[in-house]
Structure 1
């Protein structure tokens, strides 16, 4: 999600190269080729939100669909978007605000599966605004005039933090947002370089272990049952390789359901792609892994993006969603 505008400008001049894919099989049946499963690259962020895709690989859901995914780590959605548009990867994971911004700039993106959603419970969500134990800040209204770290400027986390500030009666325009990668935030908070940080799991569990406090649940404050993120591809891939997209979507839906039905497995798989302390996995707050994107919450994210000046015009939701 870093330096979105620069990345988008570069991505907009690139076109996807053709990607090989297997032939379609019966719905729900393996769909490989005579030369084996189809290799696909999927760019993901090493956070709890993507646990389902790692579980899906472990459980063989992608193999069942004739796919062999290569999971490529990235820092955020704004970096992943140009990778998908340029054809470096076939699919990507991103928060929906990044995709709204990209679509508003005319980039040809298509969501193919939901990714993660808010629990909808204040104080018990998988992300939130955290301060040190001894901080005088008690609520989102107290963030006015303070330095607040987010992983990307002008994206889902600062717009939803602003929503929390508005809900608490504060002036959302008078906040100094600082861009930091999630892994660097808690050290910056401890050092006093920022007054608060917006973190997600597994960093939230680490913060709470350190004695830090949650003063706002920004995703909950933004919209009920907010769909935070999803998996997407380019329109060119969606048009040229519909069977590939269909099989990827089928594998993701199996993966999301498995993660929902097996939360302990979702916590455990984090140990394979993050540096979380194994002792903390049991205390993690998992996001929801919805079967469908909450369209109403997506419309709320679009309105927040408009209100905070991230976009000049709302994109067509129907063009972005499957």
Structure 2
């Protein structure tokens, strides 16, 4: 989430692609390393947040192993850091929000989504991402965020895109917002100490700030688009072309994992203890996102238009190339 030097990211990614292509041999495929008995060893770049609970549940439930996939997850700081790893072959698959994927796609980075990742609940005031203020803040509506200092985890990414839309819909001027970049865990203290006027946060920081007396001003994912598909799992176009069978099996396993997570919230809260630092009280209180199998294409198109409108992209995202 902290790496945002996109030009450098693209250069590394493309260089990695060329290196991978130039050094592969007959015994090395573009897919995961083949283990004994035809099992593919697959590494997935993920972010250690609630959003990726399904893949950990799927691993635990055997959804991947029954498809001959030996799964390993490796934590990255965000989509901007994971994209180069996928292109270079460090990871066979990765998880990223769609804005990061569209930024990469407009830079001609060879990636493509293979499965849905996580989605908004679609319910105002009951979603897993929002803009919050201190309990005694004079700010009462999203329109009043214009001219204020708001923290986001990454500049020129999904956080400021959806926040601008909330302000715009409320009748405020989104161009007057001053965004400040900082990690999510730092935001509660920054908000409490007055370093920022508001914070765009996701769970578990959202629940933590509310528990300390903070107030939600806008459900930004909900404001951006109905049932917004926020993120996806993706692969390099090279892997998709060279090992379609692995991609199919991985996608089937992810889809089964998403369905299981969506139907078993208690299992989701329990698995969070395995890969996050959210304590038991926090795990019980957080708002869980939705995990539909289908990517809401219309919502991604809206996210693309908003990002282009606000200057997030260097060109127009080609969703026909990016979406499955």
Structures share fold, TM-score greater than 0.5:
yes
Shift of 1:35: 3.7
- Of the three residues 156, 159, 167, the one matched with 1:157 is 159
Deviation at 1:204, TM superposition (A): 1.3
Deviation of 1:33 (Å)? 6.0
**Matched residues in 2 for 1:109 and 1:194: separation?**
35
* Unpaired segments ≥5 residues, structure 1: 24-31
Matches within 5 A, 1:109-258: 109-258=111-260
- Residue 265 of structure 2 is matched in structure 1 by 263
TM-score normalised by length of structure 2: 0.93
Q: Which runs of 4+ in 1 moved over 2 A?
A: 16-23, 32-37
Question: Does the 8 Å CA contact 2:146/2:176 hold for their aligned counterparts?
Answer: yes
Determine which structure has the larger helix proportion and give its number: 2
Question: 1:230-266 deviations in whole A, cap 9, x for unaligned?
Answer: 0000000111111111111111001000001101111
**Could you list the runs of 5+ residues in structure 2 that have no partner in the other structure?**
none
Per the TM alignment, residue 145 of structure 1 is displaced from its structure 2 partner at its CA by 1.4
Structure 2 counterpart SS, 1:61: coil
How far residue 52 of structure 1 moved from its aligned partner, in angstroms, is 0.4
CA distance, structure 2, for counterparts of residue 277 and residue 208 of structure 1:
16
Moved more, 285-294 or 131-140: 131-140
The TM-score normalised by the length of structure 1 is 0.93
What secondary structure does 2:115 align onto? strand
Q: Partners of 1:265 and 1:205 in 2: how far apart?
A: 19
Distance 1:52 1:22 in 2: 20
Contact map agreement 1:75 1:181 (CA 8 A) in 2: no
Q: Distance in 2 between matches of 1:315 and 1:173?
A: 22
Tell me, what secondary structure is at the counterpart of 2:135?
A: coil
Please say which of residues 119-128 and 278-287 is displaced more in the overlay: 278-287
* Contact 1:150–1:197 (Cα < 8 Å) also in 2: yes
Tell me how far apart the structure 1 counterparts of residues 141 and 280 of structure 2 sit (CA, whole Å).
31
Report how many residues are paired. 314
1:71 paired residue number:
73
Distance in 1, matches of 2:188 and 2:62, equals 36
8 A Cα contact 2:32 2:43, kept in partner: no
CA deviation profile, 1:126-179 (whole Å, cap 9, x unmatched): 110111111111121111111111111111110000000101111101111111
Is the contact made by 1:144 and 1:172 (CA closer than 8 Å) also made in structure 2?
yes
- Further displaced range: 272-281 or 230-239: 272-281
Task: State the Cα RMSD in Å.
Answer: 1.7
157-166 or 77-86: bigger deviation: 77-86
In the aligned structure 2, how far is the partner of 1:227 from the partner of 1:22? 27
Structure 2 partner of 1:3: 4
Task: Answer yes or no: is the 8 Å Cα contact 2:86–2:93 preserved in 1.
Answer: yes
Q: CA deviation at 1:34?
A: 4.1
Match of 1:28 in 2: none
Hey, what's the Cα distance between the residues in 1 that align with 2:245 and 2:255? 15
Please state if 1:272 is matched with 2:256: no
Identify if the C-alpha distance between structure 1 residues 7 and 96 changes in structure 2 by more than 3 Å, giving closer, same or farther.
same
Cα 1:280–1:236 change in 2 (3 A) is same
Q: 1:263-296 deviations in whole A, cap 9, x for unaligned? A: 1111111111111121122221111101110000
